[in-house]
Structure 1
């Protein structure tokens, strides 16, 4: 029988310690590796956040630049359209015995052109002709319609057609070319020597007459506009202006900016009476500013003022 190998005292404990130390070293190495990976991930995360912040900042700056450029383009577009529309409006009219002024405002700055238009000129006999047109819609299309109507009216008036026939004749002329044309219009003839005023109407709000003493009246004339069924003015209303009387012609954007058009007409009367002694050139703008407070729906607005004075003044 061979003798059993001798076992040194403490050998198992030493081996266990060595194994434990190795495990501890391995664990420490793994921990250091994990910490290194965590640090690397944290560093990468910081880099990504920085890159993302720079990207977001760049995108935000790009959006700001695009918004600024878009705003510049809108303003330039609006200025161009406004200049075009101003060029299409008639030149100031200077007539002995009359003061004339006008105010126009589009429905919004984004649509600086609209369907509200006016025309004024002197007929061969010295009578002043005034046309107020409100074409259906907004923007360039309605501007074109309004121009078409005013040009037709001007041609007919200069040809000597009676005032009461011009609305119907305008529809007769335009209907064969464009069935979509639809507009209300108010026509006025005013003799600057005598103050004699004649009005024809096609579905348009009535003119407002404010006398020098403050008395007011709406000059109602029934009729249907261009593009409406049975177009034409049913009659011609005739009256006489006295010195310092004020005549206000306007489109419905002035009185129908709130829910009740009747209330709008009452406000117009009160406003016109309040400003009737102001210089004529200030009256339309002052009336429009007062009338267009607390607007419920925006629309193109036109206000035209005529003050009669004796030619000698």
Structure 2
């Protein structure tokens, strides 16, 4: 993120917090300002922000180097109350509650993300209740139905902008790692909602190793998303603090036991040395990864003893699985939604083992989605699905078209 953009976002959050602006309104304002200011900062032009509080309203004005057309303004998650050629002003209700702003931008973004998810779910609940009322109403049904459809369309347009921001916040793109190709595909149970408990995290440790966390939190909606975020953040923090890889799942479970006593999640961790291909896996009640080798074979990488996930009895990963990826080998990490679409977990794993080598030669950016499409040819049980693919690069391979 551009430093000036991060500074602008921080300032907006601070003035909103000082004025007691509700978290949802703050989140929509920060998103709207980000969408407007980011292109300007990328081209080296200036964006300024002014704010004032009068009569119970916080006025925030963003001044941009170029005019913002009405079609563009209409797509913002928070519509301005006033505008001229280059200035847009919002008026937000203030309050007495003061909400501290997290110091880290990603923490603040997560806080705002969860507020927007909660609001989106509330809107969806309102929509369901309205449809129920329509079913019981004998008079004015047609007029109300038309009104509902118009409202649905408005919600879909508003949600489209918010959901793009949510996707960026919840599901990070692959990090750049020399010697490895990375790609991911995510498909939610409900195509109109990004919420769910299947989340992942990947980052490069100070020593150069790639760390991957894949979590499947029990439950649905906002609660499962919050639980999954909590797990991925806790594991990232412990990993960066240098805690032993073998202990990360158990340590995370102990840390979260008193904070989130109802949290249950399966977890799988992968640690890869890109220079040697050395792979270490820690499994807590999660489906075993699939290895598709360069010679056209595929097999499950099961741990000698599969540990238990967070919130399960005796959580942890007592035995690790070690393997060395050869150049051209592909590792597939996934959540159970990939293999349970026909309500038969073992049958799904067998089909995945057949499909993986047949499609392993695809460009890495196409592989996860293609596998998900093939595995979901028949869907008797819909569930969130994440597929992560990691391929050790063949010598001299051209990665210029790698998709993220």
Mark yes or no: TM-score above 0.5: yes
For the Cα contact (< 8 Å) 1:208–1:248, is it kept in 2? Answer: yes
- Whole-Å separation in 2 of the counterparts to 1:75 and 1:198: 44
1:300 to 1:78, Cα distance in 2 relative to 1, 3 A? farther
For the Cα contact (< 8 Å) 1:96–1:311, is it kept in 2? Answer: no
- Whole-Å separation in 1 of the counterparts to 2:273 and 2:342: 35
Unaligned runs of 5+ in 2: 1-137, 398-404
Shift of 1:97: 0.3
1:145 partnered with 2:222: no
For the Cα contact (< 8 Å) 1:127–1:190, is it kept in 2? Answer: yes
- RMSD of aligned C-alpha atoms? 1.8
Structure-2 residue corresponding to 1:232: 316
Shift of 1:312: 6.4
Q: 1:66 aligns with which of 135, 148, 151?
A: 148
1:298 to 1:73, Cα distance in 2 relative to 1, 3 A? same
What are the superposed Cα offsets for residues 103-157 of structure 1, whole Å, 9 maximum, x if unpaired?
0011112432110011000011100000000011121111111000000100111
Report 1 or 2 for greater relative contact order, CA contacts < 8 Å, sequence distance ≥ 6: 1
Structure-1 residue corresponding to 2:346: 262
What are the superposed Cα offsets for residues 28-57 of structure 1, whole Å, 9 maximum, x if unpaired?
xxxxxxxxxxxxxxxxxxxxxxxxxxxx99
1:125 partnered with 2:201: no
1:294 to 1:91, Cα distance in 2 relative to 1, 3 A? closer
Structure-2 residue corresponding to 1:171: 253
1:113 to 1:88, Cα distance in 2 relative to 1, 3 A? same
For the Cα contact (< 8 Å) 2:181–2:364, is it kept in 1? Answer: yes
Q: How many residues align?
A: 258
1:299 to 1:236, Cα distance in 2 relative to 1, 3 A? same
Shift of 1:79: 4.7
Structure-2 residue corresponding to 1:272: 356
Shift of 1:217: 1.2
1:199 partnered with 2:268: no
- Whole-Å separation in 2 of the counterparts to 1:179 and 1:82: 31
Residues 1-313 of structure 1 aligned to structure 2 (within 5 Å) = 60-74=142-156, 76-77=158-159, 79-221=161-303, 222-309=306-393, 313=397
What are the superposed Cα offsets for residues 227-254 of structure 1, whole Å, 9 maximum, x if unpaired?
0000001211111000100100000000
Report the more deviating stretch, 71-80 or 105-114: 71-80
For the Cα contact (< 8 Å) 1:111–1:138, is it kept in 2? Answer: no
1:124 to 1:240, Cα distance in 2 relative to 1, 3 A? same
- Whole-Å separation in 2 of the counterparts to 1:138 and 1:122: 30
Shift of 1:60: 1.8
- Whole-Å separation in 2 of the counterparts to 1:75 and 1:183: 33
Shift of 1:94: 0.9
Unaligned runs of 5+ in 1: 1-55
For the Cα contact (< 8 Å) 1:97–1:312, is it kept in 2? Answer: no
1:207 to 1:125, Cα distance in 2 relative to 1, 3 A? same
- Whole-Å separation in 2 of the counterparts to 1:157 and 1:109: 33
Q: Secondary structure at the match of 2:360?
A: coil
For the Cα contact (< 8 Å) 1:192–1:311, is it kept in 2? Answer: no
Shift of 1:83: 2.5
1:72 to 1:294, Cα distance in 2 relative to 1, 3 A? farther
1:137 to 1:242, Cα distance in 2 relative to 1, 3 A? same
Shift of 1:74: 4.3
